[in-house]
Amino acid sequence: QVELVESGGGAVRPGGSLRLSCAASGDTSSAWYMAWFRQAPGNEREGVAIISVRSHFRNTYYADSVKGRFTISQDTANNTLYLQMNNLKPEDTALYYCAAATEVVQNVYAARQYAYWGQGTQVTVSS
């Protein structure tokens, strides 16, 4: 069992920045991938940034829509996952979720591959 708690969401103007945090507890050593997903009203849940936590190289994966603007990172000492979001756009407005996969997955961007989820934190980008 892995428990995930997100924080750091809020309202920001276009071009602004936010950093989301996800505190992980429980059997965190069972995780293979940690990820940030987002879901806007009427849309499917979208994988935006993933990190392979079992890999020595900590491979990262990003959705095309956020490449060059978002950075995923992990503080292993504190079991915390981060998402640094820069140059935010109105289309980034969504509920952002932290997720963990406890097995090797075929598609790191597919929500169905992740067994554990946080409650979400709202990000609103508006002028």
Using CB atoms within 10 A of its CB, is residue 91 exposed (0-12), middle (13-18) or buried (19+)?
exposed
pLDDT higher than 80, residue 67: yes
Query: Can you give the pLDDT at residue 105?
Result: 85
Encoding tokens for residue 50?
């993933």
pLDDT in tens, 2-39: 999 999 999 999 999 999 999 999 998 899 999 999 99
Using CA atoms of 46, 51, 53, 56 in order, give the dihedral in degrees to the nearest 10. Answer: 150
Rounded CA-CA distance 82/57 in Å is: 17
Encoding tokens for residue 39?
């879901």
> 48 near 65, Cβ under 8 Å?
yes
First to last CA, the chain: 40
